[in-house]
Amino acid sequence: MFYSRFFFLALFLVGCAGAENFLPLQKQTQKQKIVIVVFENATEEPLLGLQVSSLFKETFVRRGIRVVSDLGEADFVLSGKIVKFEQVFMSLNAQGQASESRVTISLEYTLQGKETLKDRLSASADYFNSSNPAQDKIAQDRAIREAFLRLAEKVAHDIAPFLETSL
């Protein structure tokens, strides 16, 4: 008796699992493909273009956006330019050395496809300075990564409506 109830319950649940594919009123969407071109670096800080492009790809994939590497496959092309890299000392210690800094990064991006979207965004991140140059560089790199991740999240949010089409 118990096994027959369990069997019918399992059969019911399996049947209901696919029901959403047969509902006529449900709107289904298909995500289009995007290619991310290496961003141009108009600043004096080296390698920012490669770093921002890879972080954008990482963020987009994590958010479920279909990223491809072939321009021929893509429905949209995302390109951009890093226009500002600024490091500002926020506070000084008792010896007059910087103890906290802020990195600010600005970029312009263009999404080309059926429609064209252009925007300019900025993001910043703070970090604590160290008397050890290696530790200071590591902290600065983390702040740069954090600022780029904020920019990538903003861009992914802004372009998401353009990447979905109704079936």
Q: Is the pLDDT of residue 61 over 50?
A: yes
- pLDDT tens, 93-150? 777 777 899 999 999 999 999 889 999 999 999 999 888 999 999 999 999 999 999 9
The residue with greater pLDDT, 86 or 167, is 86
CATH class of the domain at 29-166: alpha beta
Q: What does the pLDDT read at residue 162? A: 83
| Segment 4-35, tens digit of pLDDT | 555 555 555 555 555 444 444 444 446 789 99
List b or e across 121-144, with b for residues whose CB sees 16 or more CB atoms inside 10 angstroms. Answer: bebebebebeeeeeebeebbeebb
Annotated domain spans of the chain: 29-166
What is the C-alpha to C-alpha distance for residues 82 and 59, in angstroms, rounded to an integer? Answer: 18
pLDDT at position 114 is 87
3-class secondary structure, 120? strand
Q: State the DSSP H helix or E strand holding residue 150, giving kind and residue range, or none if neither.
A: helix 133-163
Give residue 106's pLDDT: 97
The pLDDT value recorded for residue 23 is: 43
**Residues 58-85, mean pLDDT to the nearest whole number:** 94
* The predicted structure's pLDDT at residue 94: 73
Stretch 153-163: mean pLDDT, rounded?
Answer: 91
